[in-house]
Structure 1
């Protein structure tokens, strides 16, 4: 064989080989054995921007094993909050478990006392689990700041309130009596940047069954001074509260907002609780997709918007399963409502008897970013592919939530095709399709990226409707509002398989150039969602 032929074979072999070691990826699944309190950090590379002032909060499972008994799925692990506080070019680290009732009881007993939604069973087999329908509020999915409270969220029950500085658990919060005991409160709120006069946290709760009820709630997310004839508003004050009933079972983790609509996607799934009741499965394992059936977009008018008082709309959705949406906006040119979502061809689940640490990624459905255009008058939807690479955890500049955005940031696979662990951060230009990539491969694995706007930058009117040539010229000259939209940083926790610990990576949001890397004295398992609270 010629040298050229050998080179071609070697290149093909490298392309076919995974860019990761499964043991590196799986090494993140461990118990966190320490709670650090205000540890000062130094950068391993680069420097922390002095303008970066605030706290990155992140939630995820920190306890995955107890008494030798492992959870069946990491989503059943106990919630642990990690906080990285930035000021004056310095950083400080703090982490603490959420002291839920179940966590405290299991800590005292030193054994598993509860079943998990995603298949974790108590020791003792089917007889020990049958007809025990109690669920532990594990507070492990998201963490957000609302006024003077930090809320640890788990979507099947009430939030837990924490001290924003010390992370100490204040207790279960029913938001001044707004929630009933055990009432579901979403783990995926959306932050309205000010479509109705001031910033709001928009969230929901869902009660499922043959018919499902969505409770839509809006809270002031910052203090707002009073105006003529109106009293001042305090952060955390409820501003809107409405309930809406729809036919069919609803599995809803995320939703999207525009100035006038709250957008939900009812996935085409069925729920048969028999296996859960009989102690054979977790509740989430009782979900199954309905091949050939379409989901439904449920569109609820927001109070204060131009559609307030109108009945909710239902529009058939294209096939696919959605956990997370990127964003939604109202297209003034076409009159359509546009929803960008990460769509899976089927519901991804881990069957009983499968070790999640040894899962075969080739057998798991891969998510891709799709845009769906809803014609509200005709009641129809059409979709197009925005990003073919496997991706998850996407976001836009917080100032563009509910509006047309130019840029998106997301976690993606290193390989352009096929499913694999998430090892890179991508910036996608939604107007031109241009992509920039920062990779942690081969031994690094990324979590959800959080885009933090540069103080003083204003993400003004989007330029997604200009031509590609015009967009390129605007980018080259760094002029216009679109240049401000990607002014800031992307923060991301990365599992470093070489160190068996976590790194915090700071990237320039525009170029994805590496600004700084902080090697944390802490091993944070692969987790879920986080948020930024500006100082």
Structure 2
């Protein structure tokens, strides 16, 4: 009989992160408790995630329904300062004033009063909690079902909803997962999308300038419609393609309308359903103006892609694949989730043969993982290395407790672990200025420290994940979502 290895974590340590952020700090100096901050790290590490998880004694049903809170860690000649602010959304301001829950949440959070109080209230509260990116002179807090909120990049004060100088219509969806093209087609750009779902789904693909006097200006814009319901969080880019994976997901809105479930809880995998790869030609690439390509995808559910690249007539897509759509039902407590019953994310590589319209798939890792990225200069190109958050155990599903560097060619790994009492978030690889080697730089991660019930900023050497410095934050930041790095120009 095979005995499963002991779990390397205590549930109470993991769950202790699910608390309200109780203060907003301004330019608080962070001093390393170990190591030295590299002087070459010049810029700001921005991070977004749910910061308010409870109001008037009522906790959100799912952390993804929490109000967005931005943390900015500014690096300047070996010094680091922390500023954090809640995004002053319309919903946050209204609930702050009323001191009670006024809105339902997409992931199942309900207003007080039971089913009758929630039925037929179909308003979506823009909680601005999923990602944060710099575009021109604006810092954008992203939530993919509506417009972004614009913030001041320095003070983090909320400027208000942004329609990007008229690019977006009121309430138009704008992805929380843009991709940054380092300059494959002549100039760097931010590539992003909005999706309008229904029996047919429409993807609006947009590209914005990211450098120069026209930073933030829309460069390219096209819309394409596809058959079927689209549940899309992420996508991948190559120099010529934007690659989407339409998961085999059905949406029955009736329980949402009648107040029984949140909208996301009405999503369900189609038994025996087949996903589709949608490849949209980029208007900055050599196939501009051509029709999209559609290929059948293998079984599984994908939230996040690592990267994509072109290899002759093939497009290669590397993605984190789940056996099924992971969700938390109306009667489940997210802090008590049984990880043994939740599908684990495993890194796969799909090779899309566009000439023969066939797809071949292989697993390229066996370890539970999420939040994977390549060197930003290799976005859309073949990369040798990936950095990702992984479970502490080699096999089995657990919370994410380690950062791993994976050689995508050989399978060799380096790992930094926060176990047994630490839990990692999305690692961010920052390239060393002027670096030539792909793995020359640092990895930044915001780690939940269960021992002191607060967060640590960890700086690692990207080459071998050796620890460079650890800085303790005077702040408890809940497990969060995405972030970005903005270099000082």
The two structures have a TM-score, normalised by structure 2, of: 0.99
Matches within 5 A, 1:140-289: 140-223=129-212, 234-289=214-269
| Residue of structure 1 aligned with 2:75, choices 70, 81, 86 | 86
1:290 alignment partner in structure 2: 270
Is 1:501 the counterpart of 2:434? The answer is: no
Q: Per-residue deviation at 1:307? A: 1.1
Is 1:431 the counterpart of 2:409? The answer is: yes
Q: Per-residue deviation at 1:139? A: 0.1
In the alignment, the residues of structure 1 paired with residue 413 and residue 131 of structure 2 have an alpha-carbon distance, to the nearest angstrom, of 28
In the alignment, the residues of structure 2 paired with residue 522 and residue 339 of structure 1 have an alpha-carbon distance, to the nearest angstrom, of 38
Q: Deviations over 1:206-231 (max 9, x none)?
A: 000000000000000111xxxxxxxx
1:124 alignment partner in structure 2: 113
| Residue of structure 2 aligned with 1:375, choices 353, 357, 369 | 353
In the alignment, the residues of structure 1 paired with residue 53 and residue 289 of structure 2 have an alpha-carbon distance, to the nearest angstrom, of 46
| Residue of structure 2 aligned with 1:523, choices 456, 476, 479 | 476
Q: Per-residue deviation at 1:450? A: 0.2
| Residue of structure 2 aligned with 1:492, choices 438, 445, 449 | 445
Partner SS, residue 22 of structure 2: coil
In the alignment, the residues of structure 2 paired with residue 386 and residue 373 of structure 1 have an alpha-carbon distance, to the nearest angstrom, of 12
2:316 alignment partner in structure 1: 338
Q: Deviations over 1:22-74 (max 9, x none)?
A: 00000000001100000011000000001000000000000000001110000
Partner SS, residue 20 of structure 1: coil
In the alignment, the residues of structure 2 paired with residue 523 and residue 251 of structure 1 have an alpha-carbon distance, to the nearest angstrom, of 32
Q: Per-residue deviation at 1:118? A: 0.3
In the alignment, the residues of structure 2 paired with residue 292 and residue 92 of structure 1 have an alpha-carbon distance, to the nearest angstrom, of 51
In the alignment, the residues of structure 2 paired with residue 306 and residue 286 of structure 1 have an alpha-carbon distance, to the nearest angstrom, of 40
| Residue of structure 2 aligned with 1:401, choices 368, 372, 379 | 379
| Residue of structure 2 aligned with 1:133, choices 117, 122, 129 | 122
In the alignment, the residues of structure 2 paired with residue 189 and residue 444 of structure 1 have an alpha-carbon distance, to the nearest angstrom, of 29
In the alignment, the residues of structure 1 paired with residue 14 and residue 107 of structure 2 have an alpha-carbon distance, to the nearest angstrom, of 20
In the alignment, the residues of structure 2 paired with residue 136 and residue 195 of structure 1 have an alpha-carbon distance, to the nearest angstrom, of 37
In the alignment, the residues of structure 2 paired with residue 304 and residue 396 of structure 1 have an alpha-carbon distance, to the nearest angstrom, of 22
1:442 alignment partner in structure 2: 420
Partner SS, residue 201 of structure 1: strand
| Residue of structure 2 aligned with 1:72, choices 47, 61, 72 | 61
Q: Deviations over 1:249-300 (max 9, x none)?
A: 0000000000000000000000000000000000000000012221000000
In the alignment, the residues of structure 2 paired with residue 239 and residue 328 of structure 1 have an alpha-carbon distance, to the nearest angstrom, of 22
The structure with the larger Rg is 1
In the alignment, the residues of structure 2 paired with residue 425 and residue 48 of structure 1 have an alpha-carbon distance, to the nearest angstrom, of 19
In the alignment, the residues of structure 1 paired with residue 262 and residue 448 of structure 2 have an alpha-carbon distance, to the nearest angstrom, of 28
Partner SS, residue 16 of structure 1: coil
1:355 alignment partner in structure 2: 333
Q: Per-residue deviation at 1:247? A: 0.5
In the alignment, the residues of structure 2 paired with residue 517 and residue 402 of structure 1 have an alpha-carbon distance, to the nearest angstrom, of 32
Query: Structure 1: where are the runs of 5+ without partners?
Result: 1-8, 224-232, 459-483
In the alignment, the residues of structure 2 paired with residue 164 and residue 516 of structure 1 have an alpha-carbon distance, to the nearest angstrom, of 25
Q: Per-residue deviation at 1:497? A: 0.2
In the alignment, the residues of structure 2 paired with residue 446 and residue 248 of structure 1 have an alpha-carbon distance, to the nearest angstrom, of 36
1:472 alignment partner in structure 2: none
In the alignment, the residues of structure 2 paired with residue 297 and residue 53 of structure 1 have an alpha-carbon distance, to the nearest angstrom, of 38
Q: Which consecutive aligned stretches of 4+ in structure 1 deviate over 4 angstroms post-superposition?
A: none
Q: Per-residue deviation at 1:17? A: 1.6
Is 1:457 the counterpart of 2:446? The answer is: no
Partner SS, residue 47 of structure 2: strand
The two structures have a TM-score, normalised by structure 1, of: 0.90
The RMSD of aligned alpha carbons is: 1.0
In the alignment, the residues of structure 2 paired with residue 397 and residue 194 of structure 1 have an alpha-carbon distance, to the nearest angstrom, of 14
Q: Per-residue deviation at 1:114? A: 0.4
Partner SS, residue 223 of structure 2: strand
Query: Structure 2: where are the runs of 5+ without partners?
Result: none
Is 1:365 the counterpart of 2:354? The answer is: no
Q: Deviations over 1:148-202 (max 9, x none)?
A: 0000000000000000000000000000111111000000000000011111000
| Residue of structure 2 aligned with 1:301, choices 281, 287, 293 | 281
Q: Deviations over 1:469-511 (max 9, x none)?
A: xxxxxxxxxxxxxxx1000000000000001000000000001
Q: Per-residue deviation at 1:523? A: 0.4
Q: Per-residue deviation at 1:387? A: 1.0
In the alignment, the residues of structure 1 paired with residue 184 and residue 271 of structure 2 have an alpha-carbon distance, to the nearest angstrom, of 38
Matches within 5 A, 1:474-493: 484-493=437-446
1:19 alignment partner in structure 2: 8
In the alignment, the residues of structure 2 paired with residue 104 and residue 293 of structure 1 have an alpha-carbon distance, to the nearest angstrom, of 42
